[in-house]
Structure 1
Amino acid sequence: MSRLIGVRGWILALLGLVAPLAVGQESASDYAIQVPLSLSGEGPWYRLELPMAVHMAARYADLRDLRVFNGAGEVQAYALSLGSARQHETQQDSAVKWFPLRGPLHAEQSPGVRVQRSTSGTLVEVLGEEGARADQEVLRGWLLDTSAIEAPLQQLTLDWSAGHEGFQRFSIEASDDLQHWRAWGDGQIARLTFADERIDQRDVRLPGQSARYLRLLWSSPRQAPQLLSARLLSASSDRLAAPLSWSAELSPSSAKAGEYRWDLPLALPLQRVRVELAEANTLAPVSIAGRREGQVQWQPLARGLLYRLPQDGQEVLQDELELYGAPVQQLRVQVDERGGGLGSAAPSIRVGIRATQVVFLARGTPPYVLAIGKAAGSAASLPLSTLIPGYDDQRLAALGVATAAATPLLEVAAGAEQAPGWDWQRLGLWAVLLAGVGLLVLMAWSLLRARPAAP
C-alpha cells in the first residue's frame, strides 16, 4: 500500500511541474506578426478595419489565429464582423407646379381638362373643358406636375390660403399621360384654431410609387382651397455592394504566352480580381481558374472581357472580374491572344475579399497590439451581440476606431510562406499524457510484482 501511495505522489509531482505548460496563458510572442494599434474616439469598444495584409499573413482564412493584446500582455475579448451589402436611401424635397381643376360643384365625374406642354414635356397651362360655362364652375381640385421627379413619391405637403379651416378630404390619382389614371387612395389635411392656437396638418402619405402627374379632387368640402405651395418628398433606394478589402499588387509566380499564375499564402474567399492593364488600347478576352493547395484540377471561376480603350475623348477601363467568394490559393489567368494580349510585360493583379472588422473591448493599459499567425490557432471570437450588449448597426458605426500601424514586417509576412514553428503548449500536453501513461504502466508492474504468490 505504501508503494502505491509513493507512485501516486510521483504522478502528482510530475503533473504539478508540467501543468503550467498545459494551462499557460497566450502571449503575443506566440504569433508570427504583431501590429501596433492606435485608438481614437470613444471606447471602451473599438473597431478595426482589417488590412488585406493581415488576411494574407494569417495561417487560417477564418482568422482563428488572431488575437488582440494590451500593454500587460493580456488577451482582449473581440468579435469579427464581416462586411455585407446595405440599402442606402436618398430623400429629396421638391417644390412642384400646380394647376387648377374647375368643374360643376355637384358633378360626379372628374373635371375634363385640356393641357399645353412645353417642348420638354412640362405642363405650362391647364385649360377648362371646352363648352363649359364659367359661371357654373368652381375650383374642384388641383393637378400637380411631378414629371421632373424620377424617384418614388413618399409624401405630399400642401399649404393653402387662410379662411379654409377644419378638415379637408380629397382623392389622389396618378397618371403618366394625363389620360389613364390610377387611384392612390384618399388624403386629408386640416387646419384647426382654438384659443389663439393653430394646428396644421399638411402632410399626406403617398404609396411610394413614381408618377408624372397627380390629380387631387376635393370631396369634403366639394370646393378646393387656393394653394400657396405644393411640395413632394421622394426617396430612392440603392443597394450598396459589400465593401471589399484589396491586396497590394501581386506579381505572377509563372508567366508564359497567354497564361499567368499567382500563388497566395493561403486559400482566401476571393470576391473580385483586378488585372493591371499597363498599355493603352488593350482588348483581352480572359478566363480565370483557381485551385487550392494540393489540388490537381483547375476550377473555372470567371470569364470576361478586359479593356482599356478611348471613347468620346476619354479612356474607358474595365479591369475587374467577379469571383463570387470562391476559396482560392492559386490563380490562373488565360488570355485569348487574338485580342492582342496584355502587353509585353507580365501583368500584376490585386485580389479583393469581403472587408472584415475586428471589434474588441479595450481592457487594461495600452499599447494594444494585433497578433496574427499561430500554427495551432483556435477560434476565440465572440458574437457581436455578446461582446456589445444591445448591439445594432448604428451603435457599431459610432464605436471608437482602431488603426493598424503600417509595418514592413507585416507586408513581408503576407507575401511569403511562413515556416511552421514549434507549438510548445501542444508538445507540453503530449509530454504530460505520455508521462502519465508511463507511470500507470510502472505502477501496474510494481503492483503485480508485489502480489503474494498463491499457496
Structure 2
Amino acid sequence: MNTIASLLVRACLAALLLPSIAMATGPEGYGWEWPLTLSRDDGGAYRATLDESVYRRIQDPRMRDLEVFDGEGLSVPAAVFEPEQPLAQSPRRLALSWFTLPAPAPGAARRWELVSEADEDGRLRRVEVRGGTAPDPAAGTALLVDLSRVREAVVALEFEWNATDALDLGYRVEASDDLDHWQSLAARGRLIDLQREGRRLLHRRIELFGLLPHHQRARYLRLTPDRPDQVVEITALKAIFAPPPAKAALQWVERAPARAASADGRVHEYTLDGRFPIRQVDVALSGNHAVEWRLESRDSTDADWQLRTGPWMTYQVGAGNGGRSAARELPMVLRDRYWRLSANGPVNGEPALRFGYAPEVVVFLAQGAPPYVLAAGSTRARRADSPLPRLVETLRAQQGDDWQPAAAWLGTSRVLAGDAALAPVRDWTSWLLWSLLVLGALVVAGFALSLLRPGRGPSQSPEGTAAAPPETDTVASREGHGDEAGSGPSDNSS
C-alpha cells in the first residue's frame, strides 16, 4: 500500500510540473520568425519596430508570445514598449561604416575597379581597390560609405577628422546599389576647418536632403575629393535622419463585415485577424451619408459585448476629404478580435470598419551570439519576464535622456512550427490529475474490501473429506456419552 501511495504522489507532482515544462521552449515552440538586421555590431541593446506581419501572428493579448532568440536558439531579455515612449523613437544619428579609396591621379578619370565582399544583408565586409594610386591609410579623402543597413531617409552625412592646419575640400557624391553602376547626385559637399586670430570656421556636414528620390534607397555612396593632393584623416562618419514628426502616423487595416447580425442591416460584425493595438476607428461607407453608430467589441465569441465608443456620427457630403468625418479616438488601446457596429437608422450599403494603430517597439539585449531572430505566434510558448525596462531606465539615468538603443530591422518572415503552434491547448493536466485521483480511489477501495472480506468455512482435507474434529471436542463428547452409559447399568442392577 505504501508503494502504491508513493507512486501516486510522484505522478501528481509530475502532472503539476507539465505546464512549466511546456512554457520552457525555444524557437520551435513558435509559428514564425523574423531575422533581425542590426545597424551596428556594438550596440549592446537594440530596438525594432513591429509591423503588420508580426501582429497578424500574435495570439496572446498581452503580447507574451513574442520572443527574441540568439544564434544558438537561447532566449534573450526583451520587452515591448509603446510608441509614445521616448525609447521607441528612432535615433536621429547612426554611425556608418566606410572604406578608404585611392585618390585618382590628376587628370585621370575618376574610376576605380572595386572587388568587394558582402554578407547576406549586403553589408560590406571587405573592399579591394584595383587601379589608381595606392590609398594612404592616414589620409582617406576618397570614401566608400556603406548604407546597406540603413532603412530611413538620410538627410545629411556628418564627419569627424583629426586636427589639421587648414581644410577646405569639396566632394562630389555618387550612389550605387551594386558597386558596379554609379549615378551622380546633384550634391556637392564641402568640409571646412579654418582658423584665424583665435576664431574657427567649421563645417562638417554634406547635405543629401532634396536629391534624387532614389538616394534614399541607395546601398552605397562614393565621395570623391576635388583635390586629391589635400589629405584629411576621417575618424568618424554618421548618418543624420530627418527629425521625428510631432505625432507618429497611424497605420490602418480595413475589414469588411464578416456577417450582418440583424435582418434590417443595421448591425454588422467584424473579425480582426491580429493583436493590433487599436487606437482609432473609422467607418468607410460609399456615397453621401450621415449615420450615428455604436461600437462594441469582445475578445472571444462566448464573452459579452462591451461598449467601446458611441454614439458618434460619421458623414460624407460631396467628393473629397473636406466633406468627410474624422476618425474616432478610442478611450483606451484595445486588442480585441471581434467587433460589432450598430447604426441608429437604415444603412445604404455594407460599411467597412477601419482600425488605426501605432506600431510598438521591441527592445532586446544583445546577449549571446548573433544572428538574432524575433519569433512570434503560439498558444503555448510565452516570453519570460525580464528586468529590461528597469535596465533601460538605469541606462537613461546614467547616460542622459537622449540615450537610445541601436536600430534593428525585421526581415522577411520564415515558417517555424507554422499553424501547428496555434493549435488549441488541451488541458491534459486536469485530465491526468482526475485520472490519478480516480485510480487512487479505486486502489483504496480495493484494499478496504480485502480487509472486510468474511472468513472462509470449515477447512477441507486434500481429498475433499471432512477433517477430524479437534481433540477437545472429542474428549467432551466422550464425557457426555459416559454419563448416559453409566445411568443405564445402574438402573439394571437395581
TM-score band by shorter chain is: 0.3 to 0.5
Structure with the greater alpha carbon radius of gyration: 2
Structure-1-length-normalised TM-score: 0.47
Higher strand share: 1
TM-score by length of 2: 0.44
